[in-house]
Amino acid sequence: MKILILTRKRMLTVLCCLLCGVLTVFLAFQGIAALTASSNQRMIPIYCVKTDEKKIALSFDAAWGNDLTQTLIDILQRYKVKTTFFVVGAWAEKYPESVKALTAAGHEVCNHSDTHPHMPKLSRDEMAAQIGNCNDKIKKASGVSPILFRPPYGDYDNALMETVKAKNMYCIQWDVDSLDWKNPAPSAIVRRITSQAKPGSIVLFHNGAKNTPTALPAVIEALQEQGYQIVPVSQLIYKNHYTIDNSGMQIPDGNAAR
The answer to whether residue 61 is catalytic is: yes
At 204, which amino acid appears?
A: L
Contact predicate 138/111, CB 8 Å: yes
Among the listed residues 90, 49, 42, 84, the one whose alpha carbon sits nearest the alpha carbon of residue 66: 90
Instruction: Given the residues 107, 112, 116, 206, select the one marked as catalytic.
Output: 206
The answer to whether residue 136 is catalytic is: no
In angstroms, rounded to a whole number, what is the distance separating the alpha carbons of residues 136 and 89? 8
Strands 240-244 and 249-257: antiparallel
Contact predicate 86/148, CB 8 Å: yes
Instruction: Given the residues 52, 61, 74, 118, select the one marked as catalytic.
Output: 61
CA distances from 58 to 28, 81, 191, 197 (A): 49, 9, 15, 11
Annotated active-site positions, please?
A: 61, 206
